[in-house]
Amino acid sequence: MDLLLRSARIIDPSQYSRIRILDILIRNGQIVSIGKNLKNTSGTKEITIKNSYVSPGWFDLYAGFCDPGYEYKEDLQSGSLAAASGGFTGIGLRPDTHPVLDSKGSIEYVINKTKNNIVDIFPYGAISQNLNGADITEMIDMARAGAAAFTDADQSVADAGLMMRCLLYAKGVGKPILHFPKTSSLSPDAQMNEGETSVRLGMPGEPAISEELMVNRDIYLSEYTNTPCHLLKLSAAGSVQLVKRAKNKHIPVTASVTAYHLLLDEHLLESYNSNYKLSPVLRTLKDKRALIKGLKEGIIDVICSDHNPQDMDAKKKEFAYSEYGMINLQTAFAVANTALQNKLPLSKLIEAIAINPRKILGLPIPQIAIGQKANLTIFDPKQSWTFTKNNIKSKSANSPFIGLKLTGKPLGIINNNQLYLNKT
Amino acid sequence: MGALSVKHLLGIKYLKTSDIQTIFSTADRFKEVLSRPIKKIPSLRDITIANLFFENSTRTRISFELAEKRLSADIVNFSASSSSVKKGETLIDTVNNILAMKVDMVVMRHPAPGAPVLLSRHIDANIINAGDGINEHPTQALLDAYSIRERIGCVAGKKIVIVGDIMHSRVALSNIFCLKKLGAKVMLCGPPTLIPKFIDTLGIIVEYDIRKALEWCDVANILRIQLERMEHTADGKTVRYFPSLREYALYYGVNKQLLDSLKNEVIIMHPGPINRGVEITSNVADSKQSIILDQVENGVAIRMAVLYLLAGKVME
């Protein structure tokens, strides 16, 4: 693929602190020239998008494609398309499929099926066999097959002993553990945040300490084993404080937040709308503000989509019986950007969705520089747009953002010598 | 008679105080009707009501059915165990099927909080919540407040304690909303494991000592210990909120001896069915202080009033 991107606002925080407006010439998927008013001698296809920005390709640390097993919700192809449309050139894939990605064979299935994709797919292996929370998986074998990290997805590892052994074992493998912190036994029936709202709605609530207790345990285990541990999808202000303290003590923990936790809070549950049944639960305004502050201060490293497709039948149900999650790959950037406007510099946002996820996984960071492979996202952080049902690339449509005006739009990606552009 | 501000009775939290007063004054009239030799009136002759019970209920179902019959409505009954609904047909499908038979109103008991709200977004019929999980049971709260008003003249300013399993009770929340709207002071009493942490945000008092609670109050509404809701399985383990019924009866049960030792005379209520000897002893339940059977009687009048008022919306 040959391409000349005209007057792109290049934002590449791992290289430069300021934005440069330059042309980028790509040949065979490689960046061959960057400069002002590059001459197009060989009739290369040109793209000029007004007010567009170009950054290193975005990476989603945590998404689910439901394949194998639940292909009627999403599959590797439709998920990849949603990712491309959402501006992502790399995806870390949760392993809670059916069967679970807990063996070499299942990891190879994902890798083989997504070869030659424009979006790089990095499957994660499960921590415990069949997510049973008890028996450690064959991590070395899976890592050799291409597993990028290990996680039991939205199932928290309750057994501290297992968690410790997994951290140690994964250290030998050289791959990180991503853990979703939740103490399920505190509130076994809870499906929303515990507080004034849950009391009013007559629904069992999950206290913030459900998360904080587990964050604390993981910090201790990370310190004790001197092993990196990534805390997935923080939702509570207290957790941010705990991670702050841990980072100050140089304990190797990192943390992420979903894009939607930056924009939504528990009040939306007043209508018992199952589109707001999310994992972790939506918490209070105060928590939301603390998460944004945590991003600003670098306590939270990553913003993820937590893309979790559910078919209509799984969602159009009583709140208590419906499934968790929302599709969010196409809206993640816009949702985060809308929430963070005037609160976080754009370069910080790009770090959180392009640079830091790859750092955590130990993957090379794409650079916008001559001689580098073109792995880019083209976007407009100021464009207002409405996400509609017709826009959806996923097989599922479980999004509370349908019909909502958002600011910031992914326009396209370039990766693996391929170009994807959203229709404008 | 005035009209209600709502199309459905989904919960007391969605009602205005004036709605409650309207329901009470309508119930007064129906109570008079119920004391006549011929108790049937033709008010709802053109109305078809579906009673959908996705969870076991005897009293509430019978009370609604009787209220509907007294108003000459046509009735269809549907009962299903919640588990079969969970597995198979969805709530909305079930209800749409029934509505396809041209039903005007739905009375629904359902184990999931908010299920009637979900339904109200998808169907046209008027919905009466007959209990949704641990959320609300509005007609129970209305008949409770109505019974207090009947016995001691008014609810405003009165002190009412709700005793027992607040956490797993659908009666507690509706009662709190209703009593607060009517100006009562509300206290909750029970083992701390059964009292939700943020319940005090509803403007109530929490007391763990049953004697102190009874000394404080004019009326004690003793909740049934919901044995079937008491045990949960999480990670394959059973969760118990208190060690034994014996200990509960000893330290939170209301008995004659305890009541007689108080300076004040407390009016005793219970939504039923009673676990005699657990939360309340027989000699208390059957005593003069008890208005438990008045509650049952008033239940029919209150439900007639609610049906009548909501049906008025249908006929508009």
ipTM, two decimals, is 0.90
- pLDDT one-digit tens code per residue, A203-231: 999 999 999 999 999 999 999 999 999 99
B53 and B150 housed in the same domain: no
B74 and B91 part of one domain: yes
Q: Residue B74 falls within a domain, yes or no?
A: yes
Tell me whether residue B198 is exposed, middle or buried, using C-beta atoms within 10 angstroms of its C-beta: 0 to 12, 13 to 18, 19 or more: middle
User: Percent of chain B scored above 70 by pLDDT?
Assistant: 92
**Is the domain of B143 the same as that of B277?**
yes
Distance from the A236 Cα atom to the nearest Cα atom in chain B, whole angstroms:
17
Mean pLDDT within A328-350: 97
Task: Quote the pLDDT of residue B315.
Answer: 47
Considering the domain boundaries, does residue B1 fall inside one?
A: no
In a domain, B112, yes or no: yes
Same domain membership, residue B160 and residue B109: no
Q: Are residues B169 and B275 in the same domain?
A: yes
Size of interface A-B (CB pairs under 8 A): 85
Tally of CB atoms within 10 A around B183: 12
According to DSSP, the β-strands at B48-53 and B105-110 are parallel
Residue-wise burial string across B99-109, b where 16 or more C-beta atoms lie within 10 A, e elsewhere = beeebbbbbbb
Residues B183, B62 share a domain: no
Q: Are residues B71 and B187 in the same domain?
A: no
- Chain B residue closest to A132 (CA)? B235
Q: What is the pTM of this model?
A: 0.93
Which of B114, B202, B233 has the CB atom closest to A272's CB atom? B114
CATH of the domain at B197: 3.40.50.1370
Best residue in A277, A318, A319 for a mutation probing chain B (most B CBs within 10 Å): A318
pLDDT-based confidence at residue B81 (cuts at 50, 70, 90): low
Average pLDDT, chain A: 96
**A313 vs B: CB within 8 A:** yes
Q: How many helices and strands in chain B, by DSSP H and E?
A: 13, 11
Inside any domain, residue B64: yes
Whether the CB of A318 is below 8 Å from some CB of chain B: the reply is: yes
Shortest distance between the Cα of B234 and any Cα of chain A, in A, equals 6
Domains of chain A, start order: 3-53+371-421 (2.30.40.10), 61-357 (3.20.20.140)
Residue B4 lies in a domain: no
Which residue range forms the structural domain that includes residue B51? Answer: 12-136+297-310
B58 and B127 share one domain:
yes
How many angstroms separate the CA atoms of A418 and A27, rounded?
11
Q: Which of A115, A54, A36 is nearest to A367 (CA)?
A: A54
Q: Does A132 touch chain B (CB under 8 A)?
A: no
Active-site residue list of A = 306
Contact A188 B239 (CB under 8 A): yes
Residue numbers in A near B11 (CB within 8 A): 202
| Closest chain A C-alpha to B14 CA, distance in angstroms | 11
Question: Residue B171's closest CA among B255, B229, B92?
Answer: B229
Q: Each residue of B110-132: pLDDT tens digit?
A: 999 999 999 998 888 999 999 99
pLDDT single digits (tens) A34-79:
999 999 888 899 998 878 999 999 999 999 999 999 999 999 999 9
B163 and B108 together in one domain: no
Inter-chain residue contact B170 with A195, CB threshold 8 Å: no
Residue of A nearest to B83 (CA): A321
B5 part of a folded domain: no
Euclidean distance between CA atoms B132 and B82, whole angstroms: 12
Q: From residue A177, how far is each of A137, A139, A418, B71 by CA, in Å?
A: 12, 11, 31, 65
Same domain (yes/no): B191, B93: no
C-alpha gyration radius of chain A: 21
Q: Do B115 and A318 touch (CB under 8 A)?
A: yes
Percent of chain B exceeding pLDDT 90 equals: 78
Residue A397's φ and ψ, nearest 5 degrees, are -130, 30
**Which distant-in-sequence residues (6+ apart) come within 8 Å of B312 by Cβ?**
B3
- CB-CB under 8 Å, B233 with A188: yes
From the CA of B132, how many Å to the nearest CA of chain A? 9
User: Contact at 8 Å (CB) between A316 and A274?
Assistant: yes
Question: Cα–Cα distance between B47 and B72 in angstroms, integer?
Answer: 8
Whether residue B196 and residue A207 make contact (CB cut-off 8 A), yes or no, is: no
Number of domains in chain B: 2
Strands A3-10 and A20-27, bridge-based pairing: antiparallel
Q: CA-CA distances (angstroms) from residue A133 to A126, A160, A225, A297?
A: 10, 10, 19, 33
Q: Tell me whether residues A316 and B170 touch, CB distance under 8 A.
A: no
Dist. CA A153–CA A103, nearest whole Å: 15
User: Would an 8 Å CB–CB cutoff place A204 in contact with chain B?
Assistant: yes
Within a domain: residue B192?
yes
Q: Residue A353 burial (CB < 10 Å; 0-12/13-18/19+)?
A: buried
Q: A106, A94 in Cβ contact below 8 A?
A: no
Q: What is the pLDDT of residues B193-225, one digit of tens each?
A: 999 999 999 999 999 999 999 999 999 999 998
- C-alpha to C-alpha distance for A200 and A66, rounded to whole angstroms: 35
